[in-house]
Structure formats: C-alpha cells, structure tokens
Amino acid sequence: MLISLMVPCYNEEEALPYLYEALCKVMDECSQYDYELIFVNDGSKDKTLSVLKDMASKDERIRYISFSRNFGKEAAMFAGLSSAKGDWIGLLDADMQDPPSLLPEMFSILQSGEVDIVATRRVSRKGEPPIRSFFARRFYRLINKFTDVEIVDGARDFRVMTRPVVDAILSLSERQRFSKGIFAWVGFRTKWLEFENVERVAGETKWSFWKLFLYAIEGIVSFTTAPLRIATLVGFLISCLSFAYLVYYFIRAIILRIWDDVPGYPSLLSFMLFLGGMVLMALGIIGEYLAKTYIEVKRRPLYIISEDNKKDDSADS
Ligand code: UDP
Ligand code: MG
C-alpha cells in the first residue's frame, strides 16, 4: 500500500520545513503505509526549489517537480496528481492551513472501504478578511444555483482519494481547470471532515482579492453556460414589453381616440425596442450553440464508473 502526498508550492521557503517535519511525524504514526511526498514547485521566486532539493537529498521518499514559471495552483495540482504513483493520493497546501494531523483519521476512514474520498471543509473563516468571506459565500450560493454539481461551502482542496478517483479526475482533460468543480463533478462516495480555519504558518497568501474574483468567474464559466442564455431571456422580455406597448398605444389611438403630442413617437419607440429585443434574442441563440460547442470541446467523459464486477471480461471481448 503506497500513499502519495502531493503539495503545490509557490514561494513557500519558510513554510516547507514546518510542513515536512509535520508530515514526517504524522507518517511515522501511520507506519503500516509506505509513502512518497511529491512537491510541485510552481515557479517560485524565492528559495523554495533549493529547500526542496536539500530535503530530497536527505530523504528518498521526496520527489520534486519544478515548473519553468508560475503556472498556478491548478496546473501544479494536475502535475502532482498525474505523477503520483500511490494507491491513495492526498493533496494538501504547503502552508499548514490543511492540518497534517488530520491525515491519520483520513487514512483510517479510507481503510474502512466505505468511501472513496475523504475531503475536508472549513467550518469557520476566522482570520480571513470579512469582505473575502462575504464574497466567498456569495460565490458558493451562485455557483450551486447555476450548476448541477454541488460545491460545498468552505471545501478545501485538502483530501485523500483512492486511485480510481484520481484517474477519473485526470480523465477530465480540459485545459481550464477548476478543481473544486472537477472534484465535485467526478462524484464517488465522499466523507467530509470539518475543521476550524487555521492561519498559515509562515509566508503570505498568494491569492489577492482580484485573483480570487477571476478564479470565481473561471469557476462559473467552466461549470455552467447559463450566462450565455441571459441574452435570450432579456431579448425576449424586451420584445414582449415593446409589443405590449405598441398594442396599448394602438388601442389608445384607435378606440379611445387619444393622440400623442409628438406623432409617430410611440410606434417608433416600440419598433426600435422590438428590434433590439430580437437582436438580443438572436445573440442568445448563437450563445446556445456556442454553449453546446463549449461543452463538446471539453470532451469530458460521459460518465465515470466507480465499480464494475466484470470489468476484465468486457475488456477481453
Ligand atoms: N500555490 C501554487 N501556485 C500559485 C498559488 C498558490 O502552487 O500560483 C500553492 C501555495 O503554495 C499553497 C496553496 O497553493 O500551497 C494555497 O495557496 P495559499 O495558501 O496562498 O492560498 P489560501 O490558503 O490563502 O487560499
Ligand atoms: Mg493557504
């Protein structure tokens, strides 16, 4: 039984020694498992790489992968997951905000065989700027409303997964990856552990408000094509309203014989609005096709099988 633990690192020279020490301590407690530690250096500008090299020279179980520049945490996680050899694969941040002390419990839950994933969520956001928490909450509300995957509020990337889950995650070969969504999309039996937010042990967060905002948009755009439909809806509404306006003026003029001061104004206005609405609707229709194309282009698998009692038989035939 081999466990791979992978850690994305970007400018984490100060945090890494703490993390390594904590991981060694925890893994010593779980001596029934072999393990490897995979550190992905995401183009750090500080001495992260030399710290990793130093650690790797002293410990055989350490593997490091270093990117040529900063490609972002998503890319680092993908690299780590695709190079992990373990039967179980764990994912955690370098800054100790994902407490390694939870790992033994996570392993023992996986060991029971009742679930395929042990994931974690923060129940508090203390120590985080309130404005960031506020927008984070709104984001989860929005994305869960518009997408058919359920993304748990406060879910961390901190999780341990079995091999089939990781293979499923890697089989989603889309370029623009939004892991929180992908993790939810692949399904599998998941057990959620909760913990209180911990502040990072050293260094500082790599996520500015702006970066998070863009990430949120990325998440919504990757998992729903609903925004492309907005044009159809708005266009339809405008056309209907302008038509109603036209009918109203028509009745007023013909039946009630009330004339406007400026002749031609109501009809002109309603025609213009009607046409505007039609144009918007046409845009929306294009949006629908674009949405379909977008979904096709991602080439996500149609389904993911978690169990099949005669898998090898069907492969032979
Ligand atoms: N990270 C990364 N590439 C980046 C940004 C972050 O690999 O471009 C890593 C970082 O080293 C850390 C994890 O992703 O291990 C989470 O980052 P951070 O702690 O800054 O985020 P926060 O906990 O504030 O959300
Ligand atoms: Mg952090």
- Please tell me the total count of domains within the chain: 1
Ligand 1 near 97 CB (within 6 A): yes
φ, ψ of residue 155 in degrees (nearest 5): -60, 135
Query: Quick check: is 287 in a domain?
Result: no
Residue minimizing CA distance to atom 18 of ligand 1: 205
Whole-number Å distance, alpha carbon 201 to ligand 2 midpoint, is 9
Contact 30, 103 (CB under 8 A): yes
- The pLDDT tens digits for 136-172 are 888 888 888 888 788 888 888 999 999 999 999 999 9
Alpha-helical runs (H) found in 118-162? 130-146
Whole-number Å distance, alpha carbon 94 to ligand 1 midpoint, is 7
Query: Quick check: is 110 in a domain?
Result: yes
Instruction: Name residues whose C-beta falls within 8 Å of residue 164's C-beta, 6 or more positions apart in sequence.
Output: 116, 188, 306
- For residue 317, the model assigns a pLDDT of 44
Cα–Cα distance, 314 to 294 (Å, whole number): 32
Query: Quick check: is 209 in a domain?
Result: yes
Ligand 1 near 207 CB (within 6 A): yes
Percent of the chain at pLDDT exceeding 90? 40
Query: Quick check: is 265 in a domain?
Result: no
Query: Quick check: is 126 in a domain?
Result: yes
Q: How confident is the model at residue 258 (pLDDT cuts 50, 70, 90)?
A: confident
* Nearest-ligand number for the alpha carbon of 206: 1
What's the CATH number where 154 sits? 3.90.550.10
Ligand 1 near 209 CB (within 6 A): no
- For residue 67, the model assigns a pLDDT of 93
Contact 130, 138 (CB under 8 A): no
Query: Quick check: is 40 in a domain?
Result: yes
Ligand 1 near 125 CB (within 6 A): no
Its sign, for the CA torsion 79, 210, 206, 201, is: negative
Q: How confident is the model at residue 268 (pLDDT cuts 50, 70, 90)?
A: confident
Which residue segment(s) compose the domain that 92 sits in? 2-224+300-316
* Nearest-ligand number for the alpha carbon of 204: 1
Q: Residue 70 CA: which ligand 1 atom is closest?
A: 8
Query: Quick check: is 262 in a domain?
Result: no
- The pLDDT tens digits for 33-60 are 899 999 999 989 999 999 999 999 998 8
